[in-house]
Amino acid sequence: MSQDIVTAPAARSWREIPQPVKPRAMSSGGRWRLVMAGVRAVALIGFLAGCGWGVWLVVQALNDDPRRMPAAAKAVPMRPPELKTMRDGVLDPAWLARTLELPPRVSLLELDLEQLSARVLADRQVLTVSMRKIFPDRLEVQITERLPVARMRVALDGTPRDLLVARDGVAFAGTGFDPLMIRTLPWLDGIALTPEGAHFAPIPHMETATRLLAEAQFSAPHLYHQWLSVSLARMDLDRELEVTLKSGTKARFSAKGSFFVQLAHLDHILETYGRNSRARLRIDLTLGRDVPVTVEMASAEAASPTGAAAPVSPLLSRSQSKTQREL
């Protein structure tokens, strides 16, 4: 009988032959080289950490006290500041240059970021701002902007002035927005502005009004484009919003119910009475399925107005304590 011969694979090189060497069996020269390699690694790590710490200290010292910067650093003029805004932002670098008012040939190390941030936030169209110095000559400014959901008209020194209102109730002048888009925003009514420093205090209940406007804009845009104004006069006591259409029809919404359902009822009622262009309706959508409708017939002149006037919101001083219902 033949037997299989098992042959062990031959080593291809003497380097593949196991040669365990215990540390104690190493020569003194080998141990010295091992120790020196460790010392060099530790020294390199310490050197890099020290350089980073020194750079951080220098930057912090120069930011805290620009007078300590060297003359060579002051001589490097800064580039135009770089503006980064959110996707729907409309502010541009020209606005940023006007707002910052930087002197010509200013260096990056001479800038006070807290002061510059305060200048940017003074424009209430800006919600947040973040600034970063990128040496040697770049300033990066990142902002988020408030978007308008409505507009309002206020009399300042006897002169009507239009302002935009964001969902948090902050009113601002507005820069860079498309005039066609602004004209589609409804007016706010039934409110009074309270001065707060150089601006106005936020308008209450704007979160609720924004929910109604957003629901109408996305669920019933054909209704939204007919809206002239939204009144907040009944929000404090009754939690109700009253919408006035460009035709003169008024619809009352309840903030306690579903705006989507109330918009569906409004759409059905307007479709039913839409054949009569002289009919001005008073629609109460706050009672659920029971929707009282009052019909008023307008004259031929009033049925075809040349233009709808915007409501003017009054100004209150801090000493006045009248409620919106009393106004």
| Domain containing residue 86 | 71-145
Per-chain mean pLDDT for the chain = 84
pLDDT at 304: 46
Give tens-digit pLDDT for 71-111. 555 567 899 999 999 878 999 999 999 999 999 999 998 89
Do 135 and 174 reside in the same domain of the chain? Answer: no
Do 178 and 120 reside in the same domain of the chain? Answer: no
Do 203 and 301 reside in the same domain of the chain? Answer: yes
Asked if 164 and 148 touch (Cβ cutoff 8 Å), the reply is: yes
Residue 146, phi then psi, degrees to nearest 5: -80, 140
Q: From CA 165, how far away is CA 173, in angstroms rounded?
A: 9
Confidence of residue 306 (pLDDT cuts 50, 70, 90): very low
- Please indicate, yes or no, if residue 29 is contained in any of the structural domains: no
Closest CA to 169 of 239, 232, 217, 84: 232
- Please identify, among 145, 179, 195, the residue that sits at the C-terminal boundary of a domain: 145
Q: From CA 104, how far away is CA 84, in angstroms rounded?
A: 22
- Please indicate, yes or no, if residue 180 is contained in any of the structural domains: yes
- Please indicate, yes or no, if residue 129 is contained in any of the structural domains: yes
Do 122 and 213 reside in the same domain of the chain? Answer: no
pLDDT at 272: 87
Do 294 and 189 reside in the same domain of the chain? Answer: yes
Q: From CA 155, how far away is CA 248, in angstroms rounded?
A: 24
Q: How many domains in the chain?
A: 2
Do 103 and 228 reside in the same domain of the chain? Answer: no
Do 160 and 293 reside in the same domain of the chain? Answer: yes
Do 139 and 177 reside in the same domain of the chain? Answer: no
The better pLDDT of the pair 213, 313 is held by 213
Do 106 and 177 reside in the same domain of the chain? Answer: no
Longest dimension (CA), the chain: 124
Q: From CA 7, how far away is CA 10, in angstroms rounded?
A: 9
- Please indicate, yes or no, if residue 24 is contained in any of the structural domains: no
The better pLDDT of the pair 195, 67 is held by 195
Do 103 and 240 reside in the same domain of the chain? Answer: no
CA angle 252, 256, 257 (to 5 degrees): 75
User: Which of 154-168, 185-199, 287-301 bottoms out in mean pLDDT, i.e. has the lowest?
Assistant: 287-301
Q: Is there a cis peptide before residue 20, judged by omega within 30 degrees of 0? A: no
Do 141 and 153 reside in the same domain of the chain? Answer: no
- What is the pLDDT averaged over residues 275-290? 85
- Please identify, among 113, 145, 177, the residue that sits at the C-terminal boundary of a domain: 145
Asked if 262 and 252 touch (Cβ cutoff 8 Å), the reply is: no
The CATH number that applies at residue 137 is 3.10.20.310
User: Which of 33-47, 142-156, 202-216, 303-317 bottoms out in mean pLDDT, i.e. has the lowest?
Assistant: 303-317
CB crowding 137-174: b at 16 or more within 10 Å, else e: eebebebebbebbbbbbbeeeeeeeebbbbbebbbbeb
Query: How many C-beta neighbours within 10 Å does residue 312 have?
Result: 13
Closest CA to 209 of 181, 241, 164: 241
- Please indicate, yes or no, if residue 105 is contained in any of the structural domains: yes
Do 126 and 257 reside in the same domain of the chain? Answer: no
- Please indicate, yes or no, if residue 281 is contained in any of the structural domains: yes
Confidence of residue 323 (pLDDT cuts 50, 70, 90): very low
Q: From CA 146, how far away is CA 9, in angstroms rounded?
A: 77
User: 262: which 2 tokens?
Assistant: 């109330």
- Please indicate, yes or no, if residue 33 is contained in any of the structural domains: no
Confidence of residue 263 (pLDDT cuts 50, 70, 90): very high
Closest CA to 127 of 176, 168, 92: 168
The CATH number that applies at residue 162 is 3.40.50
Residue 49, phi then psi, degrees to nearest 5: -65, -40
Q: From CA 88, how far away is CA 105, in angstroms rounded?
A: 32
pLDDT at 29: 73
